[in-house]
Structure 1
Amino acid sequence: MALWRIRATVDDRPGYLSVLTASLALRSVNILAVQVHTTEEGAVDDFLVDAPDTLGEAGIMAAVLKGRGRDAFVTRAEAQGLADQPTRALALAGRLVHEPDTLGETLVALLDATEVRWRPGTVTEPAGFHGGRMTLADPAGGSYEVLRALPAFTPAEYARAQALVEIAGAVVRQQREHVTLLLADGAELVLRPATKDDLPAVRELHENCSATTLRHRYLGGSVPGDGRLGRLLEPAGGVTLLATTPAGAVVAMANLITEGDLAEVALLVEDDWQRRGLGTALLRRLHSHAERSGFAAVVAHTGAGNVAMLRTLRRLGAGSIERDGALVSVTVPAAGRPVGDETPATSG
């Protein structure tokens, strides 16, 4: 017995698939797996079969044509074809998570392509497919042209390829958002967006902070529980940045929460890492994020006695500073968008 791959189009009408499978069965062809691709021309049936050694390509093709299959394609298959298509696609997606730069090779494996060409520069041709040619935008820039002689690509295959492209793009964007920060004293940290999985490490950060540091962050209120901390890690419309050591310990957390056309920022830095430039670096990145997102300004509420925070906000270019008792509100406009008049602040 030998493994073969068969692809043929049949009329998308009741009973037509059974006619094709019956014709194959009469030739002792055992169907191991089948996929159905819906197209405008009809249903494209993709089979992995085990056929007698004596049948050969011509015999299989004759069985397909007798079973009312058209535009038939028959080729020998390898043992790895025994893995079903969803399992295969998931395995390739897992590879992309760890190696997003292998997108071209992954597309070849997914689509059994004969060639993949990468073109640099701005994509001028819209993504899509026609016959044995598929065009996909490269998330890192440029585009991929995927080619194979036969069979023609189907909408289902294009959708799978596009899904892999989106996975690679998400990983690339995540990698770009991970920044190594070298402090003036030589210490090295990683700045990155937070996720809900960081909750235990962020809870430990809070446990390592002094009561004074926590009071400055939460303005004298209680430290939030896990539910609120979880929402802070992935705020709707905003972002939370973490600073981590090479060992993965979280030593600082900076939040940007949206409020209309303003974005509120808040900062918590573990005591041993304060006054080393870390808070300034985090707030600068949040300010840049707010500018890219189209916010008019960022605002920070802090205690009048939090001299270090007020000094950092002034460095960012405070546009207005207002005091209400022990509370100071500082507004930092986006680039080229002044907000109010600057007035002196009293640090107390």
Structure 2
Amino acid sequence: MTLWRIRATVDDRPGYLSVLTASLALRGVNILSVQVHTTEHGAVDDFLVDAPDTIAEADLIAAVERGRGRECWVARSEARGLADQPTRVLGLATRLVHDPDATGEVLRALLGADEVTWRPASAVTRPGIDGTTMLLADPNGGSYTLRRVAPSYTPAEYARAQALLELGATSSRRAGEQVTVVLPDGAELVVRPAVADDLTAVVELHQACSARSRHRRYLGGAGQPTPARLRRLLEPARGLTLVAATTGSGGAAESVVAMANLLAEGDEAELALLVRDDWQRLGLGSTLLRRLTRQAESAGYAALVLHVQADNTPMVRMLRRLSRPTAVERDGNLLTITVPLPPEVPAAAESAG
């Protein structure tokens, strides 16, 4: 006996699946598992079957067509195909939780893709499926494009893949979620990704900062940003915001003393810092800058962009300490500093073997 995968579309009407299975049974084909994918054009039935060695691919296609199936795709399968789909997906999800960098390999294994690539998000491309091409939004920024020769992707496969990406993004975020930072003067702070519940503490941070510090952060004035704007900064659609907080030892409440934003647009990410005045010049800004730089590199961005006042000497000095090439454009008192990031080849960009 030989294992085969068969995929075919049938009218989504009562009894049509039984007609197809009966046609296969007449040829001695044993159905081991079946998945039904609902689409606009009918029900796409995905079978794993065990067929007599005398039956060839053409015989299986003929049996499907006699059973009112159309758009038939047939391919040899391996013993690993005997694992049911929920078990396979759970196994791949477990791998992704333990190794978020394996996203590309997991997507390829899940969908049998011949090619998986990652690229920065484009404003003109939308996630979805188009025949044998699938475009997935990467929650960390950018998008994955999956291609295979056959068969065409289904909405159910798209939903599974996008759910795995969301899981991988959450795992990646939690992996580096919270660290304790010891500053040169011995002070300890917790650095972690911001959440919506940090709004009150971040409002208090801005109130505790001098007008000069707020002006250097926002450039357009020294006033207090609105809660709505701060809420968007805490949980950006693309990118990451970190907060640094005191540990609240001795029963004292935690206090946010700095906020760092990495806001992505296209293949670049804008970086900005706000450090409370009494915590400046202690190495905290440099710590946040390095962490977000590593985050931008791992996410695959091509460059960091910072808008800095020319007289903001501490910020310019911090950037120099990164020891990276920079390009500087000046417009009056405003410097636009671009820090190219070394290109990395994510696991997703490796060609399928």
**TM-score of the pair, normalised by structure 2:** 0.57
Change (3 A) 1:186 1:112: same
- Residues 180-221 of structure 1, C-alpha deviations (whole Å, 9 max, x = no match): 512325688764479xxxxxxxxxxxxxxxxxxxxxxxxxxx
Over the residues paired in the alignment, what is the CA RMSD in angstroms?
A: 3.6
Q: Is contact 1:123–1:143 with CA below 8 Å preserved after alignment?
A: no
Q: 2: CA distance between counterparts of 1:78 and 1:125?
A: 35
What does 1:183-332 correspond to in 2, within 5 Å?
183-184=183-184, 191-192=191-192, 237-239=196-198, 256=201, 269-271=248-250, 283-285=256-258, 315=278
| Matched AA of 2:278 | R
Query: Which residue pairs with 1:139 in the alignment?
Result: 139
Deviation at 1:19, TM superposition (A): 0.4
Query: Which residue pairs with 1:72 in the alignment?
Result: 72
Unaligned runs of 5+ in 1: 195-233, 241-254, 290-311, 318-348
| Matched AA of 1:136 | L
Query: Which residue pairs with 1:330 in the alignment?
Result: none
- Report SS of the residue matched to 1:238: helix
Deviation at 1:89, TM superposition (A): 1.2
Q: 1: CA distance between counterparts of 2:156 and 2:15?
A: 22
Q: Is contact 1:11–1:42 with CA below 8 Å preserved after alignment?
A: yes
Q: 1: CA distance between counterparts of 2:124 and 2:10?
A: 35
Q: 2: CA distance between counterparts of 1:130 and 1:175?
A: 34
Which has the higher relative contact order, 1 or 2, with Cα contacts under 8 A spaced 6 or more apart? 2
Q: Is contact 2:201–2:256 with CA below 8 Å preserved after alignment?
A: no
Whether 1:23 and 2:2 are equivalent positions in the alignment is: no
Whether 1:95 and 2:95 are equivalent positions in the alignment is: yes
- Residues 139-179 of structure 1, C-alpha deviations (whole Å, 9 max, x = no match): 33322110011110000001011111111222233345434
Change (3 A) 1:76 1:142: same
What does 1:50-89 correspond to in 2, within 5 Å?
50-89=50-89
- Report SS of the residue matched to 1:160: helix
| Matched AA of 2:32 | L
Whether 1:150 and 2:109 are equivalent positions in the alignment is: no
Q: 2: CA distance between counterparts of 1:182 and 1:123?
A: 41
Q: Is contact 1:135–1:145 with CA below 8 Å preserved after alignment?
A: yes
Change (3 A) 1:116 1:288: closer
Alignment size in residue pairs: 231
Change (3 A) 1:125 1:261: closer
Deviation at 1:16, TM superposition (A): 0.5
**Identity %, equivalent residues:** 58
- Report SS of the residue matched to 1:5: strand
Q: 2: CA distance between counterparts of 1:258 and 1:15?
A: 62
- Report SS of the residue matched to 1:47: strand
Query: Which residue pairs with 1:120 in the alignment?
Result: 120
Deviation at 1:283, TM superposition (A): 2.0
Unaligned runs of 5+ in 2: 205-225, 231-244, 262-274, 281-353
| Matched AA of 1:158 | Y
| Bigger-Rg structure (1/2) | 1
Whether 1:36 and 2:15 are equivalent positions in the alignment is: no
- Report SS of the residue matched to 2:90: helix
Change (3 A) 1:123 1:139: farther
Deviation at 1:105, TM superposition (A): 1.0
**TM-score of the pair, normalised by structure 1:** 0.58
Deviation at 1:83, TM superposition (A): 1.2
Query: Which residue pairs with 2:266 in the alignment?
Result: none
Change (3 A) 1:15 1:101: same
Q: Is contact 1:118–1:142 with CA below 8 Å preserved after alignment?
A: yes
Q: 1: CA distance between counterparts of 2:48 and 2:80?
A: 11
Q: Is contact 2:202–2:256 with CA below 8 Å preserved after alignment?
A: no
Query: Which residue pairs with 2:182 in the alignment?
Result: 182
